[in-house]
Structure 1
Amino acid sequence: MNGHLQNGSEAPRPNEYDVVIIGAGISGINATYRVQTTLPDATYTILEGREHWGGTWDLFKYPGIRSDSDLFTFGFPFNPWSKPNPIATGESIVEYIGATARKFGIDKHIQFRHKVRSANWSSDEQRWVLEVENEGQTKVVRGKFVILGTGYYNYDKPLEADIPGLGNFQGTRIHPQFWPTDLDYTGKKMVIIGSGATAITLLPALVDKAAKVTMLQRSPSYILSLPQRKATDPKTWSERLFPTWLSLKLTRWFFITQAYLFYVFSRKFPKLAKRVLLGGAKKQLPKDFPMDPHFNPRYNVWDQRVCLCPDGDFFEAFKKGNAEIVTGKIKTVTSSGIELENGDKVPADIIITATGLNLEIGGKIALTIDKAPVNIASKFMWHATMLTGVPNLALIIGYTNAPWTLGADACARLLTRLMKFMKEKGYTSAIPEITEEEASKPMPALNMTSTYIEKALDRLPRGAAVAPWLPRDNYFKDNWDAWFADLGKGMRFRSVST
């Protein structure tokens, strides 16, 4: 895809690439592998604003940080997770990402401490011109195609917790996104505000040192215990019958299929799915532990994400005597704790606001086309991957109802097939276009009712009710599309001499 040479003009300039991948997290590393295998002659680089790869898993340092998806599915399909445990710590995920980058030579293409501030598509050049901050200096990087593997939330600013009187608190206040590494919570009374994956991870990790840990929730979540295998456990049937490489593939597809069938079952039979999950929770909680209201969500299974806990560690925490769960609305935060609307008071030395992430698509990069600003929220997503009216730019978005990497990989394979097609046909740009009729029934790009998602809907791109604009929610469909979808549907191609 060396367009300069194809068109008979000068050789590429310094810091000019066929593909620029932004972000060295799991999405960026995955996309890079697909670029270098599908387009072996393409030049590429990865621009990472931080000092290390890993993205979320390197940023978050709170106690117990771990995956909220099984690693057999969340891991890279081309370098499967080979350890027996399906739920992994943040540290081991970072190690796995780094090992994958080194194994395939991707690490040699990462430019750390390169923060992309702006990206302008030049119609004359048929390239993206990126302004990149590095060590206090600004440099320009050009790319024919840009892939944003920047995640879906703001790394620098967490979601502001809408909690009355929070400023009154005289103790220590923490957001899990910026957990202080020197915090000593031994013997402290801790209150975790929230009921999502972060809160459910924190509680069992804190009870061993804290005097008391209270999870304060406005409404409960569904929680599913996932058994953790150990290296000493007996081999599975696939490990006994097949070579390792095949056994790992079979395990991956088993977990993918199992999760998808459970999702379909939950949506088709919501009352039965609820009974199954609540029954599983009741069996693992202490005897006579009150299920209602603490474990009785008001919504159906998969209206919001189902939380996982390894070996039921969340439920086991309540057997230790210093963990409790409180369900109610906050009236106000006082100098020494929290007062609820029902009059109950929850004392605290430390308050943790595990109330969700500050959603943001595009990593705060100022996008422009010929210097005209791009409003991401006004755009529709082609195959949940590219934005209407925006040439040669991809957003890596995964699933809300399945492991993120499944969607990220489907996106990367579709993109690299598109880039290969463009090279073969001599096209210099691909621009998604949606008709008025297709756009008449917009849908959220992220189909969950979680509060932090609903608060960000005015900042997120949209999907529509018909293909190729459907939101991402079915891996089997997306996997098929990655290999076989009509690349011309909803897409306008251009060939411009540069």
Structure 2
Amino acid sequence: MVGAGVSGIGAAHHLRDRFPERTFVVLDAQEARGGTWWTHRYPGVRSDSDLFTYGYRFKPWRGPSIAAGAEILAYLDEVIAEDDLAPHIHYRHRVTAASWSGADRRWTVEVTREDTRERLRFTADFLWMCQGYYDHATPHRPRWEGMDRYRGVVVHPQAWPEDLDHTGKRVVVIGSGATAATLVPALAGTAAHVTMLQRSPSYWFAPPRHHELAATLQQLDIPEEWTHEIMRRQYAAQVNWLARTAREAPEQLHAFLMDAMRPLLPEGTDVEKHFTPRYRPWQQRIAVVPDGDLFTTLRAGTASIVTDTVAEFTEHGIRTGSGEELEADVVVSATGFDLSVFGGVAFTVDGEPVDFTRRVTWRGIMISDVPNMAYTFGYFRHSWTLRVDLVADLVTRLFTHMRDAGAATVVPRLRPEEQDMPLRPWSDPENFNAGYVMRSQHLMFKQGDREPWTHMLEHEQEQEILPKADLADGSLVYR
């Protein structure tokens, strides 16, 4: 397995639970577990999904619905300890290449030790990619005119300096997504002032940090497993409604989100300019602001929003497209990230390099003509981890199917009637068109126009489809 974040730890749990006799190793390039929650250390870092669904199906969540990064790491530590996964996880092990040999029916994985630069080699019958979906090492950093003359500090949330002190400083946060929504309230507590500079508005949703139903269930002293399952269903149903309404009645969802937000804004706010997006609800992720903390800072005057473009950096701040100069001691470029195809690992199959742009996904879990390899990719709208459990269910069911059939290899392959199937982009812009997706479409594999060669379905669909997926329909070839 590659990756010791929520995907890799979840996959390791399911593998150990259902196949205790199998040996496995988890390789991760970082210094410790957690993936996103290890690399992201900016002020206020927290989930923007509820933890009852972001947590695993098998491990009850006991804290608030919206949790800080440190709380999520503690939760992952509990899973590692309870499943005795620590001996299987190797940190500072960066996977650089993976080569499949059909003759040996085996993967050879090339690894570089990040601390010693030692080169290692692992072999495996099956490769499970759980490394997440973006480049942890290189954030998306646009270059603006005049940055070299700016006298202040420019930071990216993905590489936050531990010694940065923003107390009493004027801060400009460029961006309006989930990271900016987290940073602005966290910085506003001690900064002189925080300005969120956005090119275009996002949709916002302000759920309570502590759900009333969870509080009621805890007062009733029912088993934690019951509370966890009830809250998972509650939150899943809520997001199912949002996703379904976004697809079937986007105007209704737009009105719902705007009406919920207006009472939280400062009096006199230009809602059309600063809070009305140019896209349909959920063509990009809805930014979560627990207890409306962002709006609280706006009402208090410790933060403000400017909707404009960056024309250039000046010595003392940023000049916007309209000519206004925003003075800043610190500029935070909350400009997102770029996708990374399977962690940038160089794949070969029987000596031939794998060009993923010419390959097709099988149910968002395997890749056409790549043997004995699965990958875990979560949801954009629902909590990522809901799909971690579903993918693990299918992969372990596949292992059982192979064992019972006496098969050593499995490879997804287009059937004769699918050879000329129209191919679609990795993400349909009409469905989801966030900046990091559009920037990286040309790097990604494709999807087809029919099952099982599609992906990015909603959880409401996949929780019915994946458990029933036919592993003997001819789309998977066994040897």
Q: TM-score, normalised by structure 2?
A: 0.95
Q: 1:210 aligns with which of 185, 188, 191?
A: 191
Question: Matched residues in 1 for 2:286 and 2:474: separation?
Answer: 34
Aligned AA (1:214): T
Conserved? CA contact 1:430–1:491, under 8 Å: no
CA distance in 2 between counterparts of 1:335 and 1:453 reads 33
Letter in 2 for 1:217: Q
> Counterparts of 1:385 and 1:224 in 2: how far apart (Å)?
30
- SS state of the match for residue 339, structure 1? strand
Deviation at 1:476, TM superposition (A): 3.0
- State the partner residue of 2:80: 101
| SS of alignment partner, residue 351 of structure 1 | strand
Partner of 1:460: 444
Residue 455 of structure 1: SS of its match in structure 2? helix
The answer to whether structure 1 residue 489 and structure 2 residue 473 are counterparts is yes
Is contact 2:51-2:65 (8 Å) kept?
Answer: yes
Distance of aligned partners of 1:55 and 1:393 in 2 relative to their CA distance in 1, 3 Å threshold: same
Q: Deviations over 1:303-357 (max 9, x none)?
A: 1000111111011011222311000122222222111222222111111111111
Q: 1:266 aligns with which of 232, 236, 246?
A: 246
Amino acid at match of 2:153: T
Cα-to-partner distance string for 1:125-151 (whole Å, 9 max, x where unaligned): 101001112232112111111111101
1:124 aligns with 2:103: yes
In 1, Cα distance between the equivalents of 2:246 and 2:211?
A: 29
Q: Is the 8 A contact 1:331 1:339 kept in 2?
A: yes
Aligned to 1:91: 70
How far apart are 1:377 and its partner, in Å? 2.2
Q: CA shift at 1:107, angstroms?
A: 2.1
Alignment map for 1:128-139 (pairs within 5 Å): 128-134=107-113, 135-139=116-120
Sequence identity (%): 34
Instruction: Give the letter aligned to residue 372 of structure 1.
Output: E
CA gap 1:284/1:152 in 2 versus in 1, 3 angstroms: same
Partner of 1:13: none
Matches within 5 A, 1:153-302: 153-229=134-210, 235-237=215-217, 240=220, 242-302=222-282
Q: Distance in 2 between matches of 1:340 and 1:480?
A: 49
Tell me, yes or no, if structure 1 residue 442 matches structure 2 residue 424.
Answer: yes
Alpha-carbon contact 2:66-2:210 (below 8 Å) kept: no
Letter in 1 for 2:81: R
1:442–1:463 Cα contact (<8 Å) kept: yes
Shift in Å, 1:53 = 0.6
The structural deviation recorded for 1:163 is 3.4
Question: In structure 1, what is the Cα distance between the partners aligned to 2:223 and 2:477?
Answer: 45
Distance change in 2, residues 1:477/1:272 (3 Å): closer
> Do residues 422 (structure 1) and 406 (structure 2) align?
no
Rounded Cα–Cα distance in structure 2 between residues aligned with 1:409 and 1:184: 40
1:402 and 2:376 equivalent? no
Q: Name the SS of the counterpart of 2:79 in structure 1.
A: helix
- The SS at the match of 2:257 is helix
Question: Over aligned residue pairs, what C-alpha RMSD do you find?
Answer: 1.9
Secondary structure of the structure 2 residue equivalent to 1:32: helix
Structure 2 segments unaligned to the other structure (5+ residues): none
Deviation at 1:242, TM superposition (A): 4.3
Q: Per the alignment, do residues 315 and 77 of structure 1 end up closer, same or farther by CA in structure 2, a change over 3 Å counting? A: same
Contact 1:445 1:460 (C-alpha < 8 Å) held by counterparts = no
**Contact 2:125-2:372 at 8 Å conserved across structures:** yes
Bigger drift between 438-447 and 383-392 goes to: 438-447
Q: 1:451 aligns with which of 428, 435, 444?
A: 435
Whether contact under 8 Å (1:199, 1:354) holds in the other structure is: yes
Residue 131 of structure 1 contacts residue 141 of structure 1 at CA under 8 Å; is this kept in 2?
Answer: yes
* d(CA) in 2 for partners of 1:74, 1:116: 26
Could you say which residue in structure 1 is the equivalent of 2:455?
A: 471
Deviations 1:101-156 (A, max 9, x none): 11122223112222111110011110100111223211211111111110101111
Asked whether the equivalents of residues 377 and 387 of structure 2 are also in contact (C-alpha less than 8 Å), the reply is yes
Tell me the secondary structure at the aligned position of residue 425 of structure 2.
strand
- The structure richer in helix per residue is 2
> Please, which of 373, 378, 382 is the counterpart of residue 353 of structure 2?
373
Paired letter, 1:440:
P
Structure 1: gaps of 5 or more residues: 1-20
Q: Are residues 271 and 480 of structure 1, via their aligned partners in 2, closer, same or farther at CA, if it must alter by over 3 Å? A: closer
Q: Secondary structure at the match of 1:311?
A: helix
Shift of the 129–229 alpha-carbon distance from structure 1 to 2, 3 Å rule, reads same
1:212 and 1:423 map into 2 onto residues whose CA distance is: 62
Structure 2 counterpart of 1:9: none
Aligned length in residues = 473
1:431 pairs with 2:415: no
Please give the secondary structure, in 2, of the residue aligned with 1:312: helix
